[in-house]
Homo-oligomer: A and B are copies of this chain.
Amino acid sequence: MGEAGPGHELPLRLFAAFRAAVDAVHDDLAAHGHPDLRPMHGFVFQAIGTRGTTAVELGARLGVTKQAAGKTIAALEQQGYVERAPDPRDARRKAVRLTPRGRDVLDRSARTFARVRAQWAEQIGPDRLDALEADLAALAPGEAFRLDAPGWFGPDR
C-alpha cells in the first residue's frame, strides 16, 4: 500500500489516460474526413459548442487573447469547420457557428469518448470507474469544464 514510487508517476498516469482518450477521438476523426485536427482543436470545438460563440468569448473560454481566438477562428473558417455571420442585434459582433462539418467533429468526438468510457468500464468495472470519476472530482473540484488548456500549455502566459 502507498507504494508511492517516484512522485511524478501519478500525474503522468493521469495524463496518459487523458491522452489515450484524446488519441482515440483523433484516430476516429482522422479516419473519417478530419485528418488535420490536432489534440488542441478538441478544446476549441468544445469551446465553440453547438450554440456558437464570438471571438472575445472564445478567447475567454480558451484562456487566450481575443486576437489568438480570432486567428483560430479564421483558420477553422478556412477549413470549413465554422462560419461567421453578422449579429443583427450588435453590428460589432460576428457570430461564429459550427458548420455541419464542424458539428460532425463534435458528434464524432462525443461518440468516441462514450465508446472509450464504455471500454474502460469493461476493463476495470463500472463501479471502479464511477469511483475514479468521483475521486477525481474531489481532487480537482469544479474544474470539469475548464477548457483553457491552450493558454495553459504554450510559451507565454
Write the residues of chain A forming the contact surface with B, with a CB cutoff of 8 angstroms: 1-4, 6-22, 38-40, 46, 109-114, 116-117, 120-121, 123-124, 126-133, 135-140, 143-146, 149, 152-155, 157
Q: Are B133 and A131 in contact (CB-based, < 8 A)?
A: no
Q: Which residues of B contact A8 (CB under 8 A)?
A: 46, 109-110, 113
The 9 residue pairs across chains A and B that have the minimum distance between CB atoms: A7-B113, A16-B140, A7-B114, A14-B18, A13-B136, A16-B143, A11-B21, A17-B140, A15-B18
From B2, B12, B128, A135 is in contact (CB under 8 Å) with B128
Given contacts A10-B117, A39-B153, A143 and B18 within 8 Å (CB-CB): no
